[in-house]
Structure 1
Amino acid sequence: MSRPEILFPLFADLETLEGVGPKTAQHMGGLAITTPRDLLFTLPHTGIDRALRDSIQDVVLPATITVKIKVGAHTPARGRGGAYRIHVEDAETSFQLVFFHGRSDYLNKVLPTGAERVVSGRVELFDGIANMVHPDHILPVEEAGDIPAYEPVYPLTGGVTQKTMFKATRAALTRMPAFDEWIDPNQIASAKWPGFADAMTQVHAPKGQADLAATSLARTRLAYDELLAHQITLALARASERKMPGQVTQGTGWLQAKVRADLPYAATGAQDRAIAQIAADMARPTRMNRLLQGDVGAGKTLVAFMALLIAVEAGGQGVMMAPTEILARQHLEGLQPLAESAGVVLEILTGRDKGSERRAKLAALARGDIQILVGTHAVFQDDVVFKDLRIGIVDEQHRFGVRQRLALGKKGAGSDVLVMTATPIPRSLALAQYGDMDVSILDEKPPGRKPIKTALISTDRMNEVITRLRAVMDEGRQCYWVCPLVEESEAVDLTAAEERFKRLRAELGEGRVGLVHGQMPPAEKDAAMARFQAGETGVLVATTVIEVGVNIPNATIMVIERAETFGLAQLHQLRGRVGRGDAASTCLLMYQSPLSETGQKRLEVLRATEDGFQIAETDLQMRGFGDLIGTAQSGVPRFRIADLDRQAGLMAIAQSDARKALADDPDLSSPRGAAIRVLLWLMRQDEAIRLISVG
C-alpha cells in the first residue's frame, strides 16, 4: 500500500512552501518538522494581541501595541553601538522608535519623515520616555490588515523566527485537501466538533486566549483525531492477534472445585468475574491476550492458578513466568498449597537448574508429566519444550516486553497469554499502553486482610522510630527500612543505605539487621533476602529492590525514609509489602521537614486511602502523564496535540469508536473505512497500515 494521492501536498518537501529555503527547512528539523503536515500539527502555544489602537497614551507599559503613527525627525546613533532614534506621534502622544545597529539609508526608506505608517511592537518606558525598540511590524497604512489582530506564537528553534513559522504555517494551510470525515457522525454531532480542515484553520488563527486552550472545540477535535488513529492501530493489532489461530481450551471445572472447597475463604466478586472472563477467552478459538490488573493483595494468585487449572483440566499444560528467581520461588510457594488441593504436578525451572536435574525436568515437561511450570526467562531457552502448552502467564508486565510475550506464544501453538500487573494503572494510561489487550480488574480485597495503618513522621524523630522497631523485634516481628532514592547516582544511594545499615546495626545489635541494594551481586542479594525470609534478621535495610512481589507475612512495619522523594504509586507498592500476615501492620512515611505543599498532599493521599486505583489517578493528576510514565515505560506514544493529562476521557471514547468501526468494517472498505485509512496515513501510523495490508 502506498500513501494516498490526496496527501501528497502535505507530505511534500518543506522547501516547496513559499518562504522556506533549504537552510530554514534544515533548522525546522529541530522541531521535528520535515513536511507541511508536521507544520500543521505544530500548534501555537500562546498569542499576542495586536489589535490596532488609536494611541499608546492610556496603556499600562510595558505592553505590545499596534498603532498608527506619523514619522518625525531621525536622530542617527552617536558612536559605535549607540541607538538610532526616530521621533513619532500617534493620535494623542509622542514616543520613540529605537534601532540598535540601525542603517540610516534603510530606515529613511522604510520610515521617511512626514509619512504615515502602522507599527507594532513592545513599548517600554526608559527614563520616562516611551520607546518601541525594533518594532515587529512596520507597514504602510493600506497594508495594516496584514498584521493579525491576534497573532499566534509558535514554538521555535535556532534559525527559525516567529515570522518564518507564521508564513510557513499559512502556506501549509493552503495545501490542505478536503477530507472525508473519519469520526463517527454521532460523535461529531454530540460533541459539536468542526470538520478537520475547519479545526486546523481555527487553531492556527486564534481570536483570543480561549481558542488556545486544550478545551477549545477545534483543539479537542484534533486531539481526538490523534487518539483515534492510535486506538485504530491498537484495535487492528488486537484484531490481527485474534486472527492467529488459538486453541479451544475448555475446563471441566472439577479441579477448580477441589481448590475452592479447600480455601479458607470465598473468592471475591472481582476474582470470580476475572476467572469467568479468562475462562470465556480460553474457550474461544482465537488467542487470549488479557491484562489482569490487581491492586496489592487483591488475590491475583488465585485467579492465575484457576487459569492454569483450566489448561490442565483440558489436558494441557500451563506456565507462569516471573522476572526474577526470588519471585519465581515465591510464586511456587504461593501455588504449592493450591496445587496440592487440586492434585496437580507443579515444578519450577530457573537458571539454577543444571545438568542431570535440568535434563530430567525437561524430559518430564516434554512428556506432559509436569502440568504446571513456574519459571524465570530460562523458560524461553530453545531446549525447553512443552507437550501441550495452553496458557502462559506473565507477571509484572513492564519487566516483560511485547517481544517476550510473542516468544512465549511460540512455545505453544497459539497458547493464550495472560499478563498480570500489581501496579494499578490509571485508565487513560492503560488505554494508551495496553489498548490492544482486554483488561480484567481486581478492585476488591479478599476478606480478612487487615488494613495497614499509615503514619507521617518527621526524620527528626528517628530515635523514636528505632525504639519502636526494637520493641516490635522483641515480639518476634520483622521490619523493612527503605532508604531514600537519591537521583544523582547509585553510588550516593549506596552510601545512604550503608550508613543507615551501620547505624541500625549499632543500635539494634549485630546480626539482627540485613542489607540489600541494587549494586550487590545477585547471589548475595538472594542470600540476604533468604535470611530475612527465614526470620534470621529482624530488619532489612533496602533500596527499592524490594518493591515487587516479596512476601514475608511476619513483616509488620515498613519504614520509608524521605518518603516525599518517591512517586505515589511506588510508595503504595512498598506499603503493600507489609500486612500480609494476621498481625496489624504499620507503614511509617518519614519526611524531611519542611514539606512542600504538593509533598504534603501526596503523602496525605496515601494516609487517606489504600485503593491503588484512586492513588494512581491522583498521581496522574498531580504529576502529569509525562512524569508518571518516565522513560522506562516507553510503550506510550507521544502525541503532538492530545494532552493525556487533561483529555483522558477522550481516549476511552476513541477506543470504543475504534473497536466499533473495525467490528462494523474489518477491512476498512466502506466510505468511512476509506477515510480512516487516510487518517492513519496522515498520522504516520505505518504499523497500522502494515496490519491492514497484511490482513
Structure 2
Amino acid sequence: MPPLTQFPISKVVEEKLIKLGITDEFDLLMHLPLRYEDETHLYPINDVPLSRIVQIEGIICRSEIIYRPRRQLVCQVEDGSGVLFMRFLNFYGSQVKAYSPGTRVRLLGEARPGFFGTEMVHPKCRVVREQEPLADALTPVYSTTAGLSSETIRKLIRGMLGRTLSNGDPHLAETLPDPILERLELPGFRNSVIFLHQPSADAPAALLERRTHPAWRRIKFDELLAQQLSMRMHYRRRRSGSAPVLLARNQLTNMLLESLPFELTGGQKKVVFEISRDLAATHPMQRLLQGDVASGKTVVAALAVLQAVENNYQAALMAPTEILSEQHYQKLSAWLAPLLAPLGATIAWVSGNQKKKQREIMLANIAEGRAMLAIGTHALFQEQVEFNKLGLVIIDEQHRFGVHQRLSLRKKGSGAFETPHQLMMSATPIPRTLSMSYYADLDVSVIDEMPPGRIPVVTRLVADIRRDEVTSRVQDACRAGKQAYWVCPLIEESEALQLKTALETRERLSLTFPDLKIGLVHGRLPLREKSAVMESFTRGEIQLLVATTVIEVGVDVPNASLMVIEHAERMGLAQLHQLRGRVGRSGASGTCILLYQKPLSENARERLKVIFEHTDGFEIARQDLRLRGPGEFLGSRQSGVPMLRFADLEQDMDLLDAARAVAEDLLCNHPEAARKHLERWLGRKSEYLQV
C-alpha cells in the first residue's frame, strides 16, 4: 500500500496518524467513523426534542460572562420560534468575541431543561451566513488522538475518496468473485466504504449505530475472511512441512497406564488417541489441549512424551512459573523416571535460579541426549540450551507465553528439515467463537469430563467487614487436620489500591493463630526457599500457606480444602477460577472464600456473580469473553494475533460461519483472489500466525 508520505501532510500530522495505527492509504480509508452527527436539517427551537443530539440555527441576542455558581459564558439564541441558551463552562477570549450579539450561529448538541429554559452545554457551534446550505450527508465522527481533530481526519479521508473516485485508484477494487457476493447478499466493497464515510441524509441511523447496515456487514465479513484465510493458509503450510514420525509403539505408554492408581476418563482417552495419531503423522502437530482445572491434562502430556521417547526423540515441557515447572518435574519424575531408568535415560529440569554446577549437568544431559524430557520455564529456550534430538514441544498455559517465546523453543527442533510436534495446554477454556476465529489454524482437543469423585468447590462471597468469621473458619479447618491457602494479590504496599500485602497478612495471621504453622510464598522469594516452603506444605508440615498468585496454576496439594482470596474484586475470572482449582483435589469437598471490599464497581460485581454461580470453566470463559472482549481475553499483546477491529464475534457469528466456508472456497478455486484479499487486510501482520 502507498505510504502516507504521498499525502500533502505535515510530519506532525503524519506522526499523529501513526499513533492511530494509520500508516498507509488503505489504513486511512479503513479508519471508519465511530458515529455520525446529523447536520442535514434544522429544528425550530420551539420544537426541539429534549435529550437528543439536534441542530438549530439562530441569532445571538445576548451574551455575557456570569460568575455564579461558577465562571461561565452564557449566550441567548433566538430563531423566531423561541429562545435557547448555550453555556460554556470552559471557554477562551476568542469565543467571547466570536459569539457577540447579532451573530448568526448553528448549534449541534443535546437540548435539555436548564435554569433559564432549554439549553445546550458546550454544543458544537459554527458562525454561519444567512441561507448557508445544510450538509447533504451525515457527518462522520472519527476516533482521534491529542493534537489531531476529527475535522482534520475528515478532510484527509474526503480528499482520499475524491482521488480514488476520480482516477480509479485500486484501494477499493473488489477482491471477491461476484457469485460469492450474490450468494451472501453482500454489497460491493467500494460502495460500502464510500457509504460508511459519506452516508446519505436518509440513511438508517439505527443500523449505522448498531453496525448492522449491509455496508458494515461487508466490512466485517472481509475482515473475518482475511483472518480465516490467513489461519487456513498457515494450517496448510504446516501440514506440508516435515516432522518426526513418532509411531504409537504402546510399550512405555502401556507400562505407565498400568502403574497409575487411577484409570483414564473417557475424555482423556479420546484426546490421547487424537494426539497419538497426530504424532505418528509426517507433518508437525499443532494441537491445543483444553481441559478445565484438574481435568487431568498432565497425564495426557506424559503419554505424549513417552510416545516420543519410544521413537528415540526428546520432549520439552515449558511452564510459565518456577513453581509449576518444579511441580511438573516432581510429578513426571515420579511417573516416568522408573520407566526411563532401564533405558539409561533421565529427566532434566532447567531453572533460571539453579546453581551453576547443577545447571551445567542438566544442560549436558539434554545436549548429549541422556535427558529424554526437559522441563523448565522460559529458561528452556535460552541460547545455551541445546537439544540432541527434539521431537515434541509441550507448552503449558500457552497463553502466558509471547509469540516469539513459543517460536524460540520450537526452533530448537530435531533437524534442519524437521519441525518438532507442538502440544499446547490450557486450563482457560476457549469459547467456541474464539476457537473458530483466533484458533482456526489449530487442531483442538477438549477433555470434556472431570475425573470421577471430584466434588465442585463451594464458593462463598464475603464482605471484608466479616473478616473475623473467615479467620474462625480457617482455624477450624486447620485444627480438623486440613490445610488452607490465604491468597493476596500484591506483595508490595500500594496505598492507592489499599491492598493487604502478603508480608503483612502473614504477620497478622501469625498473631491470630499462634498455634498454627504458617508459610509464605511469593514471586520474589528465592527458588530454593520457595521450593522448601511448597514441599513443607505438601507434606502437611505447614497448615496455612499465605501466598500471592504464584500458586495460581499447577499447585496440587490434595489435603488443602480451604482457600481465602483477598480483594477478589480486583482479580480476573480466569485467575479466580484457576486459584479456586487448588482446593478440593482429594475427592473431598473444598471451599473458596472470596473476600471483597465495598463499594464494588459494576464490572467487579458482574465478575463475582459469575464466579459464584458457575464452576464450569467453559461457561466462565464464555462470560469472561462477554465482559472483557477478545483482545484482553487472549492477551493480544502477548499472542501477536491481529485483533478484529470491526467484527463482533458474538453479534456476527453468521458472518464468521460464512467466512470459514468462503475461505476454503477461495483457497481451492480462486487462489489469486485469496492472495489479493490477504494482502489488502493483513499485509505483514500475518507473519505472527505461524505459531
TM-score, length of structure 1 as denominator length: 0.81
1:407, CA displacement in angstroms?
Answer: 3.3
- The DSSP-based 3-state class of the residue aligned with 1:577 is coil
| 1:557/1:585 contact within 8 Å kept | yes
Distance (Å, rounded) in 2 between the aligned partners of 1:29 and 1:547: 38
Who is 2:347 aligned against? 347
Amino acid at match of 1:347: I
Match of 2:628 among 623, 634, 653: 623
- Which has the higher mean CA deviation after the structures are superposed, 53-62 or 287-296? 53-62
| 1:86/1:97 contact within 8 Å kept | yes
Who is 1:205 aligned against? 198
Q: Go from structure 1 to structure 2 and tell me whether the alpha carbon gap of 1:341 and 1:195 turns closer, same or farther (over 3 Å shift).
A: farther
1:584, CA displacement in angstroms?
Answer: 2.0
- The DSSP-based 3-state class of the residue aligned with 2:289 is strand
Who is 1:150 aligned against? 138
The answer to whether residue 136 in structure 2 is matched with residue 136 in structure 1 is no
| 1:231/1:654 contact within 8 Å kept | yes
Who is 1:31 aligned against? 20
Amino acid at match of 1:475: A
Match of 1:412 among 405, 408, 414: 414
| 1:299/1:446 contact within 8 Å kept | yes
Match of 1:293 among 290, 295, 312: 290
Amino acid at match of 1:374: I
Superposed CA deviations along residues 223-254 of structure 1, whole A, max 9, x for unmatched, are 23223323433433344444432122211223
The answer to whether residue 51 in structure 2 is matched with residue 50 in structure 1 is no
| 2:173/2:189 contact within 8 Å kept | no
Q: Go from structure 1 to structure 2 and tell me whether the alpha carbon gap of 1:159 and 1:455 turns closer, same or farther (over 3 Å shift).
A: closer
Q: Go from structure 1 to structure 2 and tell me whether the alpha carbon gap of 1:593 and 1:94 turns closer, same or farther (over 3 Å shift).
A: closer
Distance (Å, rounded) in 2 between the aligned partners of 1:281 and 1:417: 10
Superposed CA deviations along residues 378-419 of structure 1, whole A, max 9, x for unmatched, are 544556554433212122213433334333332422221112
Superposed CA deviations along residues 344-398 of structure 1, whole A, max 9, x for unmatched, are 6542332476677666666655665544343444544556554433212122213
Q: Go from structure 1 to structure 2 and tell me whether the alpha carbon gap of 1:370 and 1:34 turns closer, same or farther (over 3 Å shift).
A: closer
Amino acid at match of 1:31: L
Distance (Å, rounded) in 2 between the aligned partners of 1:598 and 1:511: 37
| 1:97/1:135 contact within 8 Å kept | no
1:603, CA displacement in angstroms?
Answer: 2.2
| Greater radius of gyration (CA) | 1
- Which has the higher mean CA deviation after the structures are superposed, 280-289 or 570-579? 280-289
| 1:236/1:688 contact within 8 Å kept | no
Superposition map of 1:461-540 within 5 A: 461-485=466-490, 489=494, 496-509=501-514, 512-540=517-545
- The DSSP-based 3-state class of the residue aligned with 1:136 is strand
| 2:458/2:591 contact within 8 Å kept | yes
Match of 2:227 among 230, 240, 246: 230
- The DSSP-based 3-state class of the residue aligned with 2:304 is helix
RMSD of aligned C-alpha atoms?
4.2
The answer to whether residue 523 in structure 2 is matched with residue 546 in structure 1 is no
Distance (Å, rounded) in 1 between the aligned partners of 2:303 and 2:75: 84
- Which has the higher mean CA deviation after the structures are superposed, 208-217 or 149-158? 149-158
Distance (Å, rounded) in 1 between the aligned partners of 2:553 and 2:535: 16
Who is 2:680 aligned against? 682
Q: Go from structure 1 to structure 2 and tell me whether the alpha carbon gap of 1:486 and 1:339 turns closer, same or farther (over 3 Å shift).
A: closer
Match of 2:155 among 136, 152, 167: 167
Amino acid at match of 1:15: F
Distance (Å, rounded) in 1 between the aligned partners of 2:285 and 2:328: 22
Amino acid at match of 1:333: Q
The answer to whether residue 600 in structure 2 is matched with residue 603 in structure 1 is no
Distance (Å, rounded) in 2 between the aligned partners of 1:275 and 1:585: 29
Distance (Å, rounded) in 1 between the aligned partners of 2:462 and 2:531: 31
Amino acid at match of 2:31: T
1:685, CA displacement in angstroms?
Answer: 2.0
- Which has the higher mean CA deviation after the structures are superposed, 125-134 or 454-463? 125-134
Q: Go from structure 1 to structure 2 and tell me whether the alpha carbon gap of 1:54 and 1:492 turns closer, same or farther (over 3 Å shift).
A: closer
Who is 2:90 aligned against? none
1:434, CA displacement in angstroms?
Answer: 4.4
Superposed CA deviations along residues 405-461 of structure 1, whole A, max 9, x for unmatched, are 333332422221112222223344456654443222222212222221222222232
- Which has the higher mean CA deviation after the structures are superposed, 569-578 or 177-186? 177-186
Superposed CA deviations along residues 494-518 of structure 1, whole A, max 9, x for unmatched, are 8532222122111222661111223
| 1:624/1:645 contact within 8 Å kept | no
| 1:202/1:218 contact within 8 Å kept | yes
Q: Go from structure 1 to structure 2 and tell me whether the alpha carbon gap of 1:253 and 1:576 turns closer, same or farther (over 3 Å shift).
A: same
Distance (Å, rounded) in 2 between the aligned partners of 1:152 and 1:372: 59
Distance (Å, rounded) in 2 between the aligned partners of 1:189 and 1:588: 56
| 1:320/1:394 contact within 8 Å kept | yes
- Which has the higher mean CA deviation after the structures are superposed, 55-64 or 37-46? 55-64
Structure 2 unaligned regions, length at least 5:
66-70, 88-93
- The DSSP-based 3-state class of the residue aligned with 1:446 is coil
Amino acid at match of 1:466: T
| 1:532/1:538 contact within 8 Å kept | yes
| 2:137/2:198 contact within 8 Å kept | no
Who is 1:114 aligned against? none
- Which has the higher mean CA deviation after the structures are superposed, 615-624 or 54-63? 54-63
Match of 2:447 among 437, 442, 457: 442
Who is 1:317 aligned against? 314
Distance (Å, rounded) in 2 between the aligned partners of 1:612 and 1:54: 53
Superposition map of 1:213-292 within 5 A: 213-292=210-289
- The DSSP-based 3-state class of the residue aligned with 1:556 is strand
Among all aligned residue pairs of Structure 1 and Structure 2, give the percentage whose two residues are the same amino acid: 37
Who is 2:68 aligned against? none
- Which has the higher mean CA deviation after the structures are superposed, 278-287 or 648-657? 648-657
- The DSSP-based 3-state class of the residue aligned with 2:284 is coil
TM-score, length of structure 2 as denominator length: 0.82
How many equivalent pairs are there?
659
Who is 2:7 aligned against? 15
1:327, CA displacement in angstroms?
Answer: 2.3
The answer to whether residue 453 in structure 2 is matched with residue 451 in structure 1 is no
| 1:432/1:637 contact within 8 Å kept | no
Q: Go from structure 1 to structure 2 and tell me whether the alpha carbon gap of 1:430 and 1:509 turns closer, same or farther (over 3 Å shift).
A: farther
Distance (Å, rounded) in 2 between the aligned partners of 1:550 and 1:538: 15
- The DSSP-based 3-state class of the residue aligned with 1:52 is coil
Superposed CA deviations along residues 180-206 of structure 1, whole A, max 9, x for unmatched, are 644576764454321211211222234
Amino acid at match of 1:543: T
Q: Go from structure 1 to structure 2 and tell me whether the alpha carbon gap of 1:101 and 1:528 turns closer, same or farther (over 3 Å shift).
A: same
Q: Go from structure 1 to structure 2 and tell me whether the alpha carbon gap of 1:382 and 1:170 turns closer, same or farther (over 3 Å shift).
A: closer
- The DSSP-based 3-state class of the residue aligned with 2:47 is coil
1:636, CA displacement in angstroms?
Answer: 3.9
Q: Go from structure 1 to structure 2 and tell me whether the alpha carbon gap of 1:688 and 1:547 turns closer, same or farther (over 3 Å shift).
A: closer
1:218, CA displacement in angstroms?
Answer: 1.7
| 1:13/1:34 contact within 8 Å kept | no
| 1:320/1:392 contact within 8 Å kept | yes
Who is 1:307 aligned against? 304
1:95, CA displacement in angstroms?
Answer: 7.9
Superposed CA deviations along residues 443-489 of structure 1, whole A, max 9, x for unmatched, are 22122222212222222322222222222212221100112459984
- Which has the higher mean CA deviation after the structures are superposed, 500-509 or 628-637? 628-637
Q: Go from structure 1 to structure 2 and tell me whether the alpha carbon gap of 1:36 and 1:582 turns closer, same or farther (over 3 Å shift).
A: closer
Superposed CA deviations along residues 242-269 of structure 1, whole A, max 9, x for unmatched, are 4432122211223323333444443233
Distance (Å, rounded) in 2 between the aligned partners of 1:365 and 1:22: 53
Amino acid at match of 1:682: R
